[in-house]
Amino acid sequence: MGEKYLIDTDAVIWYLNNSYAQPATSFLDEVLDEESSISFITRIELLVWDFSSQEYAAVFENFVRDSAVLGINEDIIQSAITVRKNAKIKLPDALIAATAIVNNYTLISNNEKDFSKVVSLEIGLKYMNPMKMI
């Protein structure tokens, strides 16, 4: 595949719940066969989710355990400051966008509203929305 992808919280939830259309599910299957990469923010968001059952919680815990979790560093902090100041999005989303930018990953998320603002800043966010795959 060659391209590196950072998977946002909402995309993980939709994927694990089998909520995507077949083209998106197939694409994410390919991405995850290569490497599952998430931000430390996504790790936190997924593991504090209020699960309906222990089996359901285990699915998410296994996903996180099997994923590469990208942490924070000074470059990500500085990029998040730029994103937050200019795109006016919430701090967790700014940190996720900054993580993708700094690591040169394409961000996979359903959050078109916020991440399209970051793309329009032309500061290097590559973004794709699986819900738009037909």
Q: Tell me which residue has tokens 């997924």.
A: 46
Three-state secondary structure call for residue 68: strand
Q: What is the DSSP string of 2-48?
A: ---EEE-HHHHHHHHTT-S-HHHHHHHHHHHHH--EEEHHHHHHHHT
pLDDT in tens, 55-78: 989 999 999 999 999 999 999 999
CATH of domain 5-132: 3.40.50.1010
Question: What are the domain boundaries of the chain?
Answer: 5-132
Average pLDDT of the chain to the nearest whole number: 95
**Three-state secondary-structure class, residue 106:** strand
